[in-house]
Amino acid sequence: MDKKVLIEKVNQVLAEEFETDIEKITPDANIKKTLELDSLSLVDMIALIDNEFGVKIDNTELPKIQTFQALYDYLEEKTK
Amino acid sequence: MKRVVITGLGIYSCLGKTLDEVRDSLYSGKSGIVFDQERKDMGFRSALTAKLEVPDLKSELSRSQRAFMPEQAKYAFWATRDALLQAGIDQDYLDSHDVGLIYGNDSSADPTVRAVDTIREKKDTTLCGSGAIFQSMNSTVTMNLGCIFHLKGINLTISAACASGSHSIGLGSLLIQNGLQDLIVCGGAQEVNPFSIGSFDGISAFSTRENEPTKASRPFDRDRDGLVPGGGAATVIIEEYEHAVKRGAHILAEIVGWGFSSNGDHISSPNVEGPTKSLEHAIKRAGIDIREVGYINAHATSTHIGDTNEAKAIYNVFGDQRVEVTSTKSQTGHEMWMAGASEIVYSMLMMKNGFIGANLNFENPDEDSAKLLIPAKRVEKKFDMFLSNSFGFGGTNSTLIIKDWK
């Protein structure tokens, strides 16, 4: 998937699922703060990413994915 | 013993989403039963069901609140919100008092099945999502409502099959009578999805009159051939009398008797002795003369053995003291875990509005129902006391007696 398309899709599904203004999703923004995720809704994000992109975020990788940019890069790598 | 009164009602059912809508449906004899092609395609023996849409609560509850709610919790939220409003209870009151919550619910199949499907397919439990565990538990309704409304008194789910809703009100009234709680949110909720009743369909308990959906649920009729599943939620706010007076609440009715029993017999076939004992127990505890009862809301689900044995039990207790007996399940189908609470709401609406809705499809009596006074058409009648039966699998029986408050 083209990275621009991937970014647009990530932003769109996250904004919709977590009912967040898509304008607030910027590459450097913190995912948890922007989407107001707690430990439970973080699980929903993992399930959502798996459903939409066929990528299961590994538990050991999760702490490294703090920003949306990190998420885009992770997905780009996994969907190559 | 303290007196227990009802100060609020709320309902979400196939007959309507407000008390006024449901009253009108009861009055006009509307049926909420339809044929559901999805069930037929899934291999159901009977595709008949009550029709309900899941309410969209996006404007009222946050995403994280909704994530933990299966459909029946959403129905229960709707009913409880409306019942609290009628009772004049606002969030300030809930925040500053120990309000209890006892609600009937005995399954949550849809989220359970979906979670199991995910585990089997993905072989990864994380992918079930965060809501699955909270949606799957039998106590899902009370855990959700307790958190949403910030309730701080007793918090308990009653799982007693098709008597769950009735037992919730009975048990709640017992706590109030003994001074342990001043106000309790009681009720019953029932999911309406194919997974929840697929195995129930499998034991040939449902009517197969698929060509005539609105005629399929026919309690007490000679030609009944099984029940039709339904659902939704109903909430009944019960309160200690002095407490209600002190806060200036509008009292709707008084719970004067609760009777209960267990058949200790067959798991699915009810007997006569157990229900009879439940009726007698309720009447004795209420300390009333049976001539005071102006209406009996029967459990009758439209099954052969169930309706027959309930008719015998009612006749055992009331004998030739004939009083109108109907089953509102002729309109709603069997609302199961919800039924004991919803049928209090239905009966209250009829009592407050001076009528007894028709027992739909009662065309020919059988030997036992012929001994009862079962109106096939609506009766305009003022009455100020009714009795409501609820019986469930495993032989659990509950009977409530409610007196009007004027």
- In chain B the domains, ranked by start, together with CATH numbers, are 1-406 (3.40.47.10)
Chain A residues with CB inside 8 Å of B67's CB?
Answer: 40-41, 44
In angstroms, the separation between the Cα of residue A13 and the nearest Cα of chain B is 14
ipTM > 0.95 for the complex: no
Measured from the Cβ of residue B242, the count of other Cβ atoms closer than 10 Å reads 12
Q: Inform me whether the C-beta atom of residue B59 falls under 8 Å from chain A C-beta atoms.
A: no
Name the nearest CA neighbour of B366 among B317, B291, B303, B323: B303
Q: In chain A, whose CA is at the least distance from the CA of B61?
A: A19
The domains of chain A, with CATH numbers, are: 3-78 (1.10.1200.10)
Chain B residues with CB inside 8 Å of A17's CB?
Answer: 63
Residue B262 parent element (H or E) = strand B253-262
Q: Which of B67, B127, B131 sits opposite A50 (nearest CB)?
A: B127
Please report how the helices A3-17 and A68-78 are oriented relative to each other, as an axis angle in degrees rounded to 10: 120
Q: Inform me whether the C-beta atom of residue B129 falls under 8 Å from chain A C-beta atoms.
A: yes
In angstroms, the separation between the Cα of residue B63 and the nearest Cα of chain A is 7
Per-residue pLDDT of chain B (406 residues; tens, 9 = 90+): 999 999 999 999 999 999 999 999 999 999 999 999 999 999 999 999 999 999 999 999 999 999 999 999 999 999 999 999 999 999 999 999 999 999 999 999 999 999 999 999 999 999 999 999 999 999 999 999 999 999 999 999 999 999 999 999 999 999 999 999 999 999 999 999 999 999 999 999 999 999 999 999 999 999 999 999 999 999 999 999 999 999 999 999 999 999 999 999 999 999 999 999 999 999 999 999 999 999 999 999 999 999 999 999 999 999 999 999 999 999 999 999 999 999 999 999 999 999 999 999 999 999 999 999 999 999 999 999 999 999 999 999 999 999 999 8
Kindly report the pTM of this predicted structure: 0.97
Choose, out of B60, B64, B133, the residue to mutate when testing the contact with A (most A CBs < 10 Å): B64
Q: In chain A, whose CA is at the least distance from the CA of B124?
A: A56
A53 φ, ψ to 5°?
Answer: -120, -5
Q: What DSSP designation does B355 have?
A: E
Q: Do A44 and B129 touch (CB under 8 A)?
A: yes
Region of residue B17 (left: phi > 0; alpha: psi -120 to 50; beta: else)? alpha
Q: How far apart are CA B268 and CA B290, in angstroms?
A: 29
Q: Do B67 and A46 touch (CB under 8 A)?
A: no
